[in-house]
Structure 1
Amino acid sequence: MASGKLMLLCAVVLGCSVISMGAPYPEAGGEPCQPDKLTVYKVVLQTFWTRDQFPKHYPDWRPPAQWSKLVGRSHNKSFVLFRLGTRASNGVKTFAETGRTDVLEEQTQGEGGVYDEFNAPPIGIGAGRTEAEFFVDGNHSRVSLMSRIVPSPDWFIGIDSFDLCVNGNWLDSITIEVDPVDAGTDNGFTFTAPNWPTEPQGLIYRVTSHYPAHPASSFYYPYMKRLPPIATFQFIKVKEYELSEVFHHTEDERQYEVLRMEHMTRNTIDVLNNNDIEAEIEEERSEEERRIQHLSTTTHAPTISTTVTSTLEDSTSTNHMPLARVQVPSAGIIPKGDKDAILNSIVETYRSSPTSSKDHHRKKYKGKPRSKLHKIRPPRDCRVSDWSPWGPCSKSCGIGEMTRRREVLKHARRGGKVCPPLLETKWCGSARACSRGYFNW
């Protein structure tokens, strides 16, 4: 275990280590990498399946030694592509036995902890090379891969949940040696054995030079301490992106009313629009009219008549005759939409009314509940809807964004809590469909 940690330290500092899968690779641990940094990695699969290295039952035809396409996922801790000592999923079983990936692709990008799904082309010979690029971030720093050995009963090579982030830093470069893995779904011992399903299904296990300990096994070399590496996976950091927002706003030439910030509450700034202002003024105006009407009926204040005279000019006469006399309350009619007039009217009403006397006020309303005398409206917090589902990725190739929104159901009023953010954004994208020169910076 100490040697494994030493190798990992070399990988962090020098970016040049080789980890053998003869023993489980060490857990990265430590603090996570920054979630707002998106990193591009390249994985290079090199295979060394030759007659010199593995002479026993080496397949020369129908079909000759080769490798299926490489299937990969970057993901978080919750996702598992395959795991030693457990039963293979239906997707892994199908892929290990036939090379088909349709079942594996049912759980794709953005589902179940998967961040990016990617593939690399198959290798048509036993010893060859293939590569692919993929994305990781601080919340999805692990990578899992599989490539099927062709021909074989249910054998493949792969890596399970390798963490590319160590102590808050992304590995620059690391190479991992791997051994064959048996999916535990077929009982065949040789590369070209006929289909012989394992009933009940067994567990996934690593194939060694001594296990399975059967003379017919194609990888059984009892005189060897361990099998030669049949393949290596090399991970190379290509590029890091920092999350940034770019806005292109132009100044509007139209002139608007200038609002002084010291006269505005935080809520006013957040929810300022013409409809809300008109609604507030209309609400205050209605309450004031009801208050004035109540005062005029309870205090029996004298009504002063104001005569409004209109004349009708007859084309055949020079006489002017009064048309009508209209009486209006002394308080007058407050113009609709005039907020200053409303406030002034409230002040003048309390100054001129006999109820402004404290003694008169106490006597008149003695014994009545205070809640009926002073109706105070409580603050109203902002209410928003639930989040919408995540939208599609903005790009089919390369780095994009996914967004989701929520709507304001009711704006805050009278000092209530302001509205929370209405938009969320996260990284998305995949390099699997990109052309070869897409990442040539």
Structure 2
Amino acid sequence: MSFLTMLGPSPDWNVGLSAEDLCTKECGWVQKVVQDLIPWDAGTDSGVSYESSNRPTVPQEKIRPLTSLDHPQSPFYDPEGGAITPVARVVVERIARKGEQCNIVPDNVDDIVADIAQEEKEEDDTPETCIYSNWSPWSACSSSTCEKGKRMRQRMLKAQLDLSVPCPHTQDFQPCMGPGCSDEVDASTCMMSEWITWSPCSMSCGMGMRSRERYVKQFPEDGSICTLPTEETEPCTVNEECLASSCLVTEWGEWDACSATCGLGMKRRERMVKTPPADGSVCGAEVVEVEKCMMPECHTIPCLLSPWSDWSDCSVTCGKGTRTRQRALKSPLELGECAEELDQVEKCMLPECPLDCILTEWSEWSECNKSCGKGHMIRTRMVKMEPQFGGAACPETVQRKRCKIRKCNRGGASSDERRRRKEAREKRRNKQGREELAEGHTACKMKPWSAWTDCTKLCGGGIQERLMTAKKRFRSSQLSSCKDRKEIRACNVQAC
């Protein structure tokens, strides 16, 4: 039975069981299994506590059990370095019995008891503070005949939680004899996988070797060892008629020792050029190969950090800015290298800054709108950007000033003509005064505003006018200010 469950909201911690055997030696089901569980790290996300942010681990690390010395901020940290406390317990209990079958009958009860005693002895030999990988499959027997030989299996020490308690051996040996000489079950009882595809030829030109592998899918039901080979090699030839630029290289040498004594390191191996290219060029084959290697966990304290400070104020009073926070390194540097960040910066956003109205420069003054007498001329400017977020409003966009070119010439009228005009003006004033008295008006009557005139320009800023004229004028002193009115506004202010 296998299962896995996550410890949320951790980075990538989990607990579970892997291939827990629920069978008995008598080919039945166990009545009850109780197993304490410790947390494991999947090696995909960086983080030392439940509050760590999800950041991928690059490169991805191997799955490993957490220990009490991983990090001072870890919830499982123990400065004494004791065994990590289990975080869960799984209980599996058989609740029904529906009949059992067994194809293998043990020789006698003593064999069963001996096997169980041996398993218990092996379990007792391993302290809880020592965490190993699973045993590798047994190697082939060193003897190919019926003479006694030996075979080996090995495992890796992944973590030693208490340095004061020695961990047992990582290699195991067992006596054996060649095929057909022992009482073991025939190899045909092993279920093997299909062969995996052949590896590339070891030579880029000429004669070399290639290999392929397979694995044991199911071991014999009586617990015996499979003797079928899991790897085979054969000669291979690449490009029999090698080009002049080809070269022949030797087999790869053994891997050097890992560069690290604990944790992650590198290892390398080499091969040599046997025959350089016939044309004198440089051999293009790789002669050095490097890969990562994983040693047992390092028992150092990387770093001890203070809590994060509060975020600083935003760097601006409006708009977009940044804010920072810091933390300090509390543990001595000699305890290990600290790769944790001590400063963080993030963006902050305050209300938008006010933007005042932006106008173009004033245009040139227009020509006077009269050819003689009193008139006016104007100049305009355009709005480039309206005010935003409470900025200053736009000032005036049209200015007007008076202009006077010359007096208008009324012609060379005679004295009699001027006299007649004066008499006509007096008659009109007298008539208007009589109308005022008759109607009792206290103000002049005005006509409605006229329609706006066409814009003087199609683009670039022009002007429009409209007029309000007096319908009736009265000559009384109270109405001497009754005059025609004129309004001017800017139009077509968009750029051409």
Structure having the larger proportion of residues in helix? 1
TM-score for both structures, normalised by structure 1: 0.23
Which structure has more relative contact order (CA 8 Å, sep 6+)? It is 1
